[in-house]
Amino acid sequence: MSVATIISLAGLAADIAGAVVLVNGLLVRDMAILHNMRELLKQERAMPTGWYRSIPVSVAFRLGSDDARKTPPAHLDDYAANFWGLSLLIIGFVLQGIGQVMGAIR
């Protein structure tokens, strides 16, 4: 296996890790918020319309946590998850780019 391939694979692994961290940090929090707002939205008849909004909201209602600790104000934890997720994504993109350039030079 060439060095360029190893660098590209390391970048891909960093991208995957970054995406998992972002999903865990963002979607889990947002799903818990929406899950806890379900009754309020139904009472106010403010349920989203259209597939673009209704599908994610229905998934949040079914899979969202009842745990109030997963909703704000955990701003510092949210920032840390977003920071590391985005950092890993950027590192992964850079490593994949370097690996591709090294492979193209050969």
- pLDDT average, residue stretch 9-19: 89
How many residues make up the chain in this entry? 106
Whole-angstrom Cα distance, residue 90 to residue 85? 9
What per-residue confidence (pLDDT) applies to 19? 87
Whole-angstrom Cα distance, residue 14 to residue 94? 10
State the average pLDDT for the chain: 77
Q: Does the pTM exceed 0.85?
A: no
- pLDDT average, residue stretch 16-25: 83
pLDDT over 70 (residue 1)? yes
Annotated domain spans of the chain: 3-105
pLDDT over 60 (residue 87)? yes
